[in-house]
Amino acid sequence: MNRKLLDLWVGFFVAIGFAAVLFLALRVGNVSSANFAETYRLTAKFDNIGGLKVRGPVKSAGVVVGRVAEISFDAQTYEAVVTMTIDGRYHFPRDTFASILTAGLLGEQYIGLDAGGDEKMLNPGDVVAKTQSAVVLEKLISQFMFSKASETADSK
């Protein structure tokens, strides 16, 4: 076979191969929003993190502003310590409220940050003081059952 034609087809093959990698990276994997250019770290302590996973999203007003970097257990206070990496472009007030929320009824869990009204901002490495734990479905159901039971008992 003619060497020029051969080179042409091989070039075509390599080009569409790289196009496929690019497609997987940009369209399927969305490489652009996964890596923030500059980040800083915040930690928060929760009584219960539910099903939160490392690399889970951190959202504020529904926008992804960071990722969960690390989850560990504090043996002194028996709390979960969650370290988050936050996009360096965004800063949050000192009295920001961190809660663990669920996307949809049974979807993945994420950390929601609700900004407060403080003038001072959280510095890198700071601890988010106000937190709310994950809602555990079993506890919620049992609470509901108990309150229903006491309601019917009262009405009698």
Name the residues that contact other proteins, by CB under 8 A.
1, 3, 6-7, 9-10, 12-14, 16-21, 23-25, 27-31, 33-34, 53-55, 57, 104, 106-107
Q: Which three-class secondary structure state does DSSP give residue 87?
A: strand
46: nearest Cα among 102, 104, 97: 97
Q: Which three-class secondary structure state does DSSP give residue 113?
A: strand
The residue among 105 and 153 lying less far from other proteins, judged by its C-beta, is 105
Number of residues written out for the chain: 156
- Count Cβ atoms within 10 A of the Cβ of residue 81 and give its class: 0-12 exposed, 13-18 middle, 19 or more buried: middle
Q: From the CB of 27, what's the least distance to other proteins, in Å?
A: 7
Phi and psi dihedrals of 38, rounded to 5? Answer: -120, 135
The residue among 59 and 91 lying less far from other proteins, judged by its C-beta, is 59
The residue among 33 and 155 lying less far from other proteins, judged by its C-beta, is 33
The residue among 7 and 118 lying less far from other proteins, judged by its C-beta, is 7
